[in-house]
Amino acid sequence: MPVVRGEKGRDMGTTNSRLNREIENDILGEMVNINDYMVRQNSILLSDTFHLDAMPSGDSVYKVDIQYRTGLGKTVAVVLLNTDAENIEDLKEGLRKSLKDGYIYIVR
């Protein structure tokens, strides 16, 4: 099972259907290569309202998250991406699930 639900995220922001479409089209829709998210980089992808960041989070794991660009910068989705992961669709699935329920997902 490549996408596993982890612990509940702390103080996760919320979105509505319009913002979810923006994330789907402008961020998730632009994700092509999983290796692009195994880096330390802010604002890898941008939409009008959100940005996607990645940073190391322990050995062989990267934290990939989507946050609001302005205001308090609340995080709305988080995935812990294992460096052995190979499928970009698994990363997208984890981010979608996190966006929906506020949990942190682990992608292996």
Nearest-Å Rg of the Cα atoms of the chain is 12
Q: Which residue has the higher pLDDT, 47 or 73?
A: 47
* CA–CA separation, 3 and 16 (whole Å): 24
Q: Which of 91, 94, 92, 52 is nearest to 69 (CA)?
A: 52
Contact 61, 69 (CB under 8 A): no
Confidence of residue 72 (pLDDT cuts 50, 70, 90): confident
pLDDT tens digit sequence for 6-45: 999 999 999 999 999 999 999 999 999 999 999 999 999 9
Residue 20: CA count within 13 A, CB half-sphere:
11
Domain count for the chain: 1
pTM for this model (two decimals): 0.96
**Residue 44's domain spans which residues?**
3-107
